[in-house]
Structure 1
Amino acid sequence: MAVGAWSFYKKSFSVPPSSTHLVLIPTYNTGARLLATVQAALAAWQPVWVIVDGSTDDSLAPVRLLAASEPHLRIIVRPRNGGKGAAVATGVDAALAAGFTHVLTMDADGQHPADHIASFMAASQANPAAMILGVPLFGPEVPLERLHGRKLSVGLAHFEILSRAIGDPLFGFRVYPAAPLRRALASTRAARGFDFDPEIVVRLFWAGVPAVNLPAPCRYFTKAEGGVSHFNYLRDNAKLVWLHTRLITQLLLWRWVQLRRVRRSR
């Protein structure tokens, strides 16, 4: 939706801003879909913060125009690209400093369902100690290599937590308790790029944060539809192999003791 039409459109709904839960949208060279994603998020929830991770395209320009007239939209710009996890870490630090307790993360390219934001936030408000994890419902357009590849990641995550409590370790549509998320990020030098979603959910579970799994649709856009992907099959799959090697090694050496304590406490 064009920025000029947004002022008229937003009069048709009223979303009271939350003082505890906010939406974080990390973005890097997302292209034209960024503005529509931000508008959809604002229509479902307020406030919304966009964390610009060193983008070099012009995707931020219309969002800046929107922010000029939208008090519940904040833009935080990182000077250099550091990866999704680094962008989320920047947003979480700022959210905690502003008094927020929970953040919902969603992708900037429109793959994640903005119309599910309210139900995920409600689940978090009902169970504030938990992380609310999206379990993706894919359409027929999903690349088969992505669909089959994530089955391996799901199985490895289940082994790493000795449980099936995490429905999907890769789907980034989630609500995190902000303070435990910052501690989990501080516990590792990794989880700053594509490896953020699977590593951080395992580390949060190790730390005793329970998981609530909710289904949510996920849509893959083609390039003709404006879809943008920064996933590099060789680089990022190698990073995932190294990620799971590290997590399994930690599990076998000492994390299994921590997991026993977590189970007893529950």
Structure 2
Amino acid sequence: MRDLARSYWVVIPAYNEAETVRDVAMRARQQCPNVIVVDDGSTDGTARALAGLDITQIHHEENRGKAGSLQRGFEHALAHGALGIITLDADGQHAPEEIPIFLTASVNAPDVFLVGIRPRDKRKTSFWRYGANRVADFWISWAAGQLIDDTQSGFRLYPATLLRNIDLAEGKERSFVFESEVLIEASHLGTSIGMVTVGVAPRRGSRPSHFRPVYDIAKITFMVAARLLARGMYPAGLYRVVREWIGPSSAEGLSRTDKLAKSSRK
């Protein structure tokens, strides 16, 4: 596994994550030797928290948003020959110890875009966040033309073949839109989107979440609606999503979240 890990890079975007980023980066480094932390203009000492670690650090003088941080990390990793790039958050919700799940799944499917699917528990999630995520899942799946169970998960493996062929706008205002739009664009480019099951831990530290359920989901919805309108509302995509939702996946011996090579269709 260590030999395989050398061909991959881990990118961790961080904005005011001084309380947690060092621990997350150290644990990620134990799973993969190539770790990049992109400090997105933090003002809380995030850069100081990373001092002395054997990782690559990229610093933004001003906050550029998550999309800008991810793309800077992607550029660096691709320039150093990465076969794929694993992304995870710096707040401790994603366990770096689960990185091998993505690496194992990619062995026989190196060009599949893998998304880590988190368990859903209404009791542990606010009403607004749970509802907003479900709305986003429906819209994005429709626009992508395939069912994606957790479109807002940032724990992913992006194949290098996808990143070299995709061109999405970045900007501070597109932080969470970017991660949704890339799913749609990947599907339309013919990249297979697979899903692996991962855990999720409560967010650590005192910093409030950067994700604003109503505002950010509204922006995502407008982006998706524009794409659907451009494709005449894409009825074929809606049909496929509904068919997959009610389809006999269990009869095939696989749950939706364990299908690692769902084909994307145009």
User: What SS does structure 1 have at the residue aligned with 2:57?
Assistant: strand
List aligned pairs for 1:1-266, cutoff 5 A: 15=2, 18-65=5-52, 67=53, 70=54, 73-138=55-120, 140-164=123-147, 166-184=148-166, 186-188=167-169, 192-221=174-203, 225-233=205-213, 235-252=215-232, 263=265
Q: Which amino acid aligns with 1:24?
A: V
In the superposition, the TM-score normalised over structure 1's length comes to 0.80
How far does the alpha carbon of each residue in 1:73-107 deviate from its partner, in whole angstroms, 9 at most, with x for none? 11111222111111111111111111112100000
Where structure 1 has 5 or more consecutive residues not aligned to the other structure, the ranges are 1-13
CA RMSD of aligned residues (A): 2.8
**Retained in 2: the 8 A contact 1:31–1:226?**
no
**Retained in 2: the 8 A contact 1:132–1:213?**
yes
Q: Following TM superposition, by how much is the alpha carbon of 1:255 offset from its aligned partner in structure 2, in angstroms?
A: 11
Q: Which amino acid aligns with 1:211?
A: I
Q: Which amino acid aligns with 2:88?
A: M
Equivalent residues, number: 240
Distance 1:252 1:219 in 2: 40
Give me the identity figure in percent. 25
**Retained in 2: the 8 A contact 1:33–1:226?**
no
Q: Following TM superposition, by how much is the alpha carbon of 1:188 offset from its aligned partner in structure 2, in angstroms?
A: 3.9
**Retained in 2: the 8 A contact 1:25–1:50?**
yes
In the superposition, the TM-score normalised over structure 2's length comes to 0.80
Distance 1:76 1:104 in 2: 16
How far does the alpha carbon of each residue in 1:133-161 deviate from its partner, in whole angstroms, 9 at most, with x for none? 11111454322321121111111122112
Q: Which amino acid aligns with 2:9?
A: L
Q: Which amino acid aligns with 1:170?
A: Q
Distance 1:237 1:169 in 2: 11
Distance 2:3 2:49 in 1: 24
Q: Following TM superposition, by how much is the alpha carbon of 1:42 offset from its aligned partner in structure 2, in angstroms?
A: 1.5
Cα distance change of structure 1 residues 227 and 189 upon mapping to structure 2, 3 Å threshold: closer
Cα distance change of structure 1 residues 236 and 188 upon mapping to structure 2, 3 Å threshold: same
Distance 2:235 2:16 in 1: 37
Worse overlay, 225-234 or 240-249? 225-234
Where structure 2 has 5 or more consecutive residues not aligned to the other structure, the ranges are 241-263
Cα distance change of structure 1 residues 249 and 210 upon mapping to structure 2, 3 Å threshold: same
Q: Which amino acid aligns with 1:52?
A: D
Q: Following TM superposition, by how much is the alpha carbon of 1:43 offset from its aligned partner in structure 2, in angstroms?
A: 2.1
Cα distance change of structure 1 residues 39 and 87 upon mapping to structure 2, 3 Å threshold: same
